[in-house]
Every structure is written in structure tokens, then in C-alpha cells.
Structure 1
């Protein structure tokens, strides 16, 4: 990394830290994540270069994966029997969300069918962006609307959870932290597992791989304790900066044109998720907020970190977010093909 690039990265991380401290002072849930998103997002929109190198983002993903896995409690397995209901809820929610918002984007915001579909997909952003940039749909509008969706979804979910009283009264994590030897061994195994999953094109490999390793080790009794708080903070600061940095792709003209569409889509997705979560809450012995986050159409890294900050079962949330990514990994490439066939049939 050249000197100029290193200074830009350092400035971006400094902004993320400042945002986190301000959010902490204001009492915002998941302050290191939310604060970084807001401050770095604003700087990105003002065209400061807030890009982070891929290796640094992957380091943060490994940290978040370890953070989620090490916070899984041993009694989690006793609740797995209830998961089929919520897994069906994830699939139903995706079907309703994508179908309704695609229709809305076409009818109200006048997007073509393929662009509307790619704008409505709640996940696998790298795949969606790659398809849009390659000429499938209007790439600029997909980038703008998806960036707005991710930014506001990550900001609104914890604030709504707090406003609706869905945050447990005691969320502080007082469990002992793992020792240095355990941390080093677990980190090496986690990184290798992430790289292995990346080779087979698994979704979110650098989060899911470390998470699986740390969960397996915890449930097998191979180690005890959670990730040290200082390392966890570093991961959240980097993730906040990475999410905020996505606004660098958006210009003022793009925002004027597509801000309303992105906000409307975000609110609809949150509403649909909330309704399904309320229904599942009637048959599942779990906190409503936990079910809601498990179904929430956000990134595994951000939603998982929010769930941890709000004191919920990270195994439940991570498993359901991973299931959502698996479904989307199959559905995203098929969507444009089915749309094109439908259009040819109607021609």
C-alpha cells in the first residue's frame, strides 16, 4: 500500500472511530457500527476517498465471524427444533419482498423489469452489482438504490428496535474473554476456513467460515470465552467504514433521482419482515426482536453485529441470514433469465 493510500485508509478509519464514539455518547445501539456508517457515508458522499483495501475488509469479516460464533451459548441447540418455522418465514419473506418491490419499482418508479428486480434483491450485493455493471439492467440505478437500501436498513433496524422496546434490558456481555493462544489458533483456523469456502464460491465466505469454526469449537467444548472486546471493536469499526464507503458510488443527481425509491423499498422490506416476525412470534418461544433480525434483509456481517449488540442469540440470526443468502444465490441469476423469457413470450 502506497503512502498516500495508507493515509486515506487511516483517515477513513479515524472517521469511523469518531462516528462510533459520537454514537456511543448518544446511546445509539451498536454504536461502533452505526456511527462509522453515518460519518464515513457522509464523507463518501462528499467525494472523500474512503475505499478500504480488500484484505482489510476480509480481516474485519473474519473478526465478525469469530465474534458471532464465540458468542453462541451452549443451550442454543435446545431451540433448534423451532427453526423450521422461521426458516420457512425467511423464504416466504423473500418471495413477498422481491415480488412486491419489483412490481412497485416498475409501476411507480418506472424501472424496466430487470432493473427493478435487481434493485429489489435484498442481499448478495457483489453478485447483484456485477450483473448490473455487466449490462444486465440499468447499472447506475441499481447501484444507487441498493446503496440507499443498505445504508438506511442498517441505520433504521436498531433504532426501530429500540423505539419499539425490542431491545433486552440487559445486553452487556460479561462472559470471560478467550486467552491469547486460543485466539491465535482460532483465528488461523477461521481464516483458512473462509479461504476454503471462497474457493467453492460460498456466500459471504469470510464471515460464514470463521463463524462455523468458532461455533463448532465452542459447542464441542474445545474452547471457552468470547472474542476480546478490543478486537471485536476493530472489526465493527472497519465494517462500519466499509458500509459507509459504498456511498462513494452515488452522486447528488443519482440521489435526487432514486433516494425516494430506495427509502420506500427499505420501509416496505422492514414492514414485511416485521409482519412475518410477529406471526412467527405467536408460535415460537423467542424474543420478537431476535426473530425480526433473523429475517431482516441486510448483510450477514451488519445484521449479525446488530443482533449481538442488542443481546440476541447470534446462532439463530446467523443461521437464518445464511439461509437467506443461499436462497438468493440461486434466485438472483435465474431472475433476469425468467424475465427475458417472459418478455419474449409476450412479444
Structure 2
């Protein structure tokens, strides 16, 4: 417990230093790097999933509090372009799975589950049941998410001008407003954890947090949470992501060979191409499109959008829709594309 507390404090501190140095999405990137260094060279720690859910609720609640009703007017025009990119994303993942199988020593189902685009926890949990190498699948998805969350905030942040939020507590009135905002966010967080336990589905915590946060905005329109709260939540999320990527993951990928790096590169380039297609078909700017379309985690991408003053709610909506769609399509994809003899063997 002491080691975990020290680690989290160190990761948040590094994230804060990165933010102070004006590194794009510094809270998130700094803590991810701290986590990777800790995992590789100091100690491997296992942080509880409940901590991630709490952080997710804080970030989602903060995004919801920043929502404006007029933002929803843009969403209707996004449905057809989103469906096009969703189908293309799934098709691309299936083709990449065949590509990975063709040029590696992996069995069919391991390659198939490695390249499914998103819903990492659900995909990893199902992979063992269907005769896949669960460790390889976990290593591949962990590396993909870590790589994307490290690279994409830098790509976006270096091209988007970020206006720093002024949250200095200069007088008692501002201090009271900040305390009141934090208390409301705390209520939203607790309510989110309650509802997400009662109603479980992919992205439930983020969905409820944004919805409750938006309700909070309707009730208290002038509410504004101090920026460092969001930053610290992002840093804890980065600490959780970073510590998951360890030597074992790297060794698992190394056992596949260089084709794993080629597959990840193609995955990344495919995300850039899909973001461009979505950008051309919608009024959304390219960087918001990239954060919304790339298969890199709803919370991570929405958090990055919030840090860069982009439309975090839209990014979260697109990401959650992709995860939910994949979750619903997963039984059909497995039935159609998983190799049946491996499935039968694992079930037997």
C-alpha cells in the first residue's frame, strides 16, 4: 500500500512538472512515462480497477460540467460518417488479424483477438475462452493503448494552441466557488460509481459521469471546477496506464517478431486515415476527429481532448459509441471469424 501511494504521488508530481513545462497533455504524458520507468526499472505494481473507475468518474463528471446544450445539435450530422468509419475500423481490424496470422507464429484466434479495435478488457477476457493466448492478446492491446495515448496527445497538442485556465484562488469568493464546484464533482463521482455498479456495460462509468455532469451544469450553469483537479485525475489515469506496460509485455511482443511492430504501425496509420475520412465528411476539425475515431480508449482520448480545450464530450460520445458497437457485434464477429476447432478445443 505504501509503495502504491508513493508511486501515485511521484507520477502525479511528474505529470504536474510536464504540465508546468507546457508539454501538450502534460499531466497525462508525464505520469505515463513515470509509470513505464517504474515498471521497467524500479518495481512492478498492480493498481486496483476501482481506482480507474473513480478517476474515470471524475474526468467524465468534469467533461459533463463543461457541456453546453447547443453542442448536441452537431451530433445528428455525424451518424452516417461515424457508421462508415466504424464499419471500416472493424473491417480493418479483421484484415490486420489475418495479416498478423500470415506473417507470425500465432494461431488464428490469438491474431484475431489481438487486432479487434477496442474494448480491450472485454476482448482480453474473452480471448482465453476461445483458445487464444491471453497473455499475447493482453500484451498487444496494452502496447497499442500505451503507444496511442503517448503519441496522439503529442501530435494533437503540438498543433493546437491551448489557452491556459486561470484557476488561481485570489480571494475568498473564488475560493468558495472552487470548493462548491469540487463538492458537486464529488457528488457526481459517488453517484457515477453507484449507477455504474447497478448497470454494467462497456463505458458505463464514463457514460453516467458525463450525463450526471451535464445535469449538474443545467442546475448550476456557472460552475467551474479548478483545472488542477482534472489534471490530477489525468495524471492518476496515466499512472495506471503506464504501470501496465512492463518487460513482460515487451517480451511477449518480441516473441511474435518484428511483425508485431509492423502491425501496430499499420493500425496507427489506419487510424490517421479514418480520422481524415471523418474530417472530410463532417464539420468537425481533424484533431477532434482523430481523438474521436482512433481506437485508443474513450477515457484516455476524452481526457486528452479536455486538456487541449477541444470538444471532449464529442470525443467521448464517438469513443463510447465505438466500444458499445464493438461489444454488441463481438458475438457475431467471433461466430463468423474465430476458428471453430480452437473454440471447440477450449470449450472442451
Alignment TM-score, normalising by the size of structure 1: 0.86
Distance 1:63 1:94, change over 3 A: same
**In structure 2, what is the Cα distance between the partners aligned to 1:259 and 1:313?**
39
Q: Which residue of 1 aligns with 2:231?
A: 233
Question: Does residue 48 of structure 1 match 2:46?
Answer: no
Shift of 1:26: 5.2
Residue 8 of structure 2: aligned partner: 13
Q: Which residue of 1 aligns with 2:27?
A: 32
- Please say which of residues 264-273 and 248-257 is displaced more in the overlay: 248-257
Output one character per residue of 1:165-221: Cα deviation in whole Å (capped at 9) or x when no partner: 3x2x24434599964345424432443234323333211222221111112332x35
- Whole-angstrom CA distance in 1 between matches of 2:26 and 2:225: 18
1:293 to 291, 294, 319: 291
CA distance in 2, matches of 1:108, 1:181: 57
- Give the TM-score of the pair, scaled to structure 2: 0.85
2:76 corresponding residue in structure 1: 81
8 A Cα contact 2:82 2:278, kept in partner: no
| Matching of residue 146 in structure 1 with residue 141 in structure 2 | yes
Whether the aligned pair in 2 keeps the contact of 1:16 and 1:238 (CA below 8 Å) is yes
Deviation of 1:271 (Å):
1.8
- Alignment-derived partner of residue 213 in structure 1: 212
Q: CA deviation at 1:135?
A: 6.1
SS at match of 1:215: helix
| SS at 2:118 equivalent | coil
1:262-318 Cα distance to aligned partner (Å, 9 max, x none): 543333223222222222322322211111111010111111111112221112101
1:136 aligned residue:
131
Output the CA distance in 2 between the equivalents of 1:170 and 1:145: 32
Matches of 1:339 and 1:96, distance apart in 2:
11
Q: Distance in 2 between matches of 1:84 and 1:63?
A: 28
Q: Judge which range, 32-41 or 51-60, deviates more.
A: 51-60
Aligned counterpart for 2:329 among listed residues 328, 331, 336: 331
Once residues 223 and 257 of structure 2 are traced to their aligned partners in structure 1, the CA distance between those partners, rounded to angstroms, is 43
**Structure 1 counterpart of 2:316:** 318
SS at structure 1 position matched to 2:105:
coil
Deviation per residue, 1:208-235 (Å, 9 max, x gap): 21111112332x3544333222321221
Answer yes or no: is 1:64 the counterpart of 2:64. Answer: no
* Distance in 2 (alpha carbons) for counterparts of 1:306 and 1:158: 6
RMSD between aligned alpha carbons?
Answer: 2.7
Equivalent residues of 1:154, 1:303 under 8 A apart? yes
Given that 1:171 and 1:309 are in contact with CA atoms closer than 8 Å, whether structure 2 keeps it comes out as: no
User: What is the number of residues matched between the two proteins?
Assistant: 335
- Structure 1's unaligned 5+ residue stretches are none
1:96-245 equivalences under 5 Å are 96-134=91-129, 136-162=131-157, 165=159, 167=160, 169-173=161-165, 179-218=178-217, 220-245=218-243
Distance 1:12 1:184 in 2: 26
Match of 2:244 among 236, 243, 246: 246
Q: Report deviation, 1:239.
A: 0.3
Q: Secondary structure at the match of 1:250?
A: helix
CA 1:170–1:229: 2 relative to 1, 3 Å: closer
